[in-house]
Amino acid sequence: MNNNVIATRTAFGEALVEMAKERKDIVVLDADVATSTKTSIFREAFPERFFEMGIAEQNMMGVAAGMATTQKIIPFAVTFAVFATKRACDQVSISIAYPKLNVKIVGSYGGIPTGKAGATHQAFEDIAIMRAMPNMIVIVPADAVEMKQAVKACVEYNGPVYLRCIRCDTPIIFDKNYKFKWNKGVTLREGKDVTIVSTGIMTPEALIATNILIDQGVDVRLIHLHTIKPIDKDILLKASIETGYIVTVENHSIIGGLGGAVAEILSESEPVLIKRIGIKDIFGESGSLKGLFCKYGLTSKNIVKVVEELIKEKVRKYSYQR
């Protein structure tokens, strides 16, 4: 990990401009939040390809769908994740996912970071909602490097995608040699004792926790899942068999998101004890970023604590079995 930090929303805005230079079919629709979602960068570069839809997210999703029916335009419908997935949920489902139209839905302000806006603007259920929708792909990049490659992958895929962006600056963990592989999890460290599965901006935090645990002698495996749907089952089943215990970490509710998905997969074929770190079925609140991440246990310190408890449990279980 180097010391660079950049918000994935900014990386998204920049990536879109880069892609749009080659791909004339990319257009952007935004619902009066362009400076926040960073589609403002796109508007500056390609004003004729930017469509302001006003504060009307439901209509925006339908308009994007209608544009996509021409098969000559790839619309990026961009707004805050709460509005994209909750306010316009039926429009995304019926006008985009059901007809499998080539619309990229971008939810900015995923999870806790909203600039102190609080519960109304914090998306804790967006991954769960979008994951339940047939035909929908769900991608949650970890850093700016991965975001840029994810945007490219989204454009190359013909169908609806939900892409999640984050407001605050986050560390860059991947270098220029990183290759985003569609639907494939990334093993950041091999290990035998326990597996941490993380997504989005919690992966840099999980990486810090992993290094602390390694120093303590715990052989941690770390898997980053940028694609929540379709999920990489093989990497999860292998981890379950080889390490036995799983900890999931996400900047999202523990219900229906990464933790939910991992639990569903493993409980059907390779059940193991799973601890889910994430937002525990509550609405959010305003506050400092550091304060909120601490309060909700989304820190390397808490990941270390949960893993340590799990290891203790593992030792206890094995001593029973003997």
Partner 1 sequence: MVFQEKTIEKLENKANAIRKHIIEMISNAEGGHTGGALSIADIMAALYFYILRIDPKNPEWEDRDRVVLSKGHASPAWYAALAERGYFPKEELLTFDHINSRLQGHPDMNKTPGVDMSSGSLGQGISAALGMALAARYLKKTYRTFVILGDGETQEGQVWEAAMTAAHYKLDNLIVILDYNKLQLFGQTNTIMNIEPVIEKWQVFGWNTIEINGHRINEIIQALENAVKFEGKPTIIVAHTIKGKGVSFMENKVEWHALPPTKKQAKQALKELEYLYKKGF
Query: Could you give the C-alpha distances from 121 to 87, 108, 110, in angstroms and in order?
Result: 12, 10, 9
47 C-beta neighbours (distance < 10 Å), count: 8
Site membership for partner 1, residue 150 (CB under 8 A): no
Query: Of 67 and 166, which CB lies nearer to partner 1 in the complex structure?
Result: 67
Active-site residue 57, yes or no? yes
Stretch that binds partner 1, among 95-103, 194-202, 248-256, 314-322 (CB under 8 A): 95-103
Vertex 140 angle, CA 284 and 241, to 5°: 105
Least Å distance between CB 272 and partner 1? 40
Q: What does the DSSP assignment read for 216-265?
A: TT--EEEEE-SEEES--HHHHHHHHHHH--EEEEEEEESSSSHHHHHHHH
Q: Per the residue annotation, which of 18, 44, 57, 313 is the catalytic one? A: 57
Site membership for partner 1, residue 59 (CB under 8 A): yes
Identify the three-state secondary structure at position 79.
strand
H helices present in 6-156, as ranges: 8-22, 34-37, 40-45, 57-68, 81-82, 89-91, 126-131, 144-156
Stretch that binds partner 1, among 65-73, 141-149, 191-199, 241-249 (CB under 8 A): 65-73
Q: Work out which of 18, 40, 45, 73 binds partner 1, going by CB under 8 A.
A: 73
34: amino acid identity, one letter: A
Stretch that binds partner 1, among 52-60, 220-228, 279-287, 289-297 (CB under 8 A): 52-60
Site membership for partner 1, residue 68 (CB under 8 A): yes
Site membership for partner 1, residue 133 (CB under 8 A): no
Q: Work out which of 95, 122, 227, 240 binds partner 1, going by CB under 8 A.
A: 95
Least Å distance between CB 71 and partner 1? 8
Least Å distance between CB 60 and partner 1? 8
Site membership for partner 1, residue 67 (CB under 8 A): yes
Radius of gyration of the chain (CA): 19
Least Å distance between CB 77 and partner 1? 10
Query: Of 21 and 192, which CB lies nearer to partner 1 in the complex structure?
Result: 21
What is the distance of C-alpha 121 from the center of its chain? 16
* Count of residues near partner 1 by CB under 8 A: 30
Site membership for partner 1, residue 155 (CB under 8 A): no
Which of 76, 71, 24 shows the shortest CA–CA distance to 53?
Answer: 76
161-164 and 186-189 as β-strands: parallel, antiparallel, unpaired? unpaired
Which of 137, 103, 128, 107 shows the shortest CA–CA distance to 227?
Answer: 137
**Where on the chain is the footprint of partner 1 (CB under 8 A)?**
27, 49, 51, 53-54, 56, 58-73, 75, 90-91, 94-95, 98-100
Residues with catalytic annotation?
57
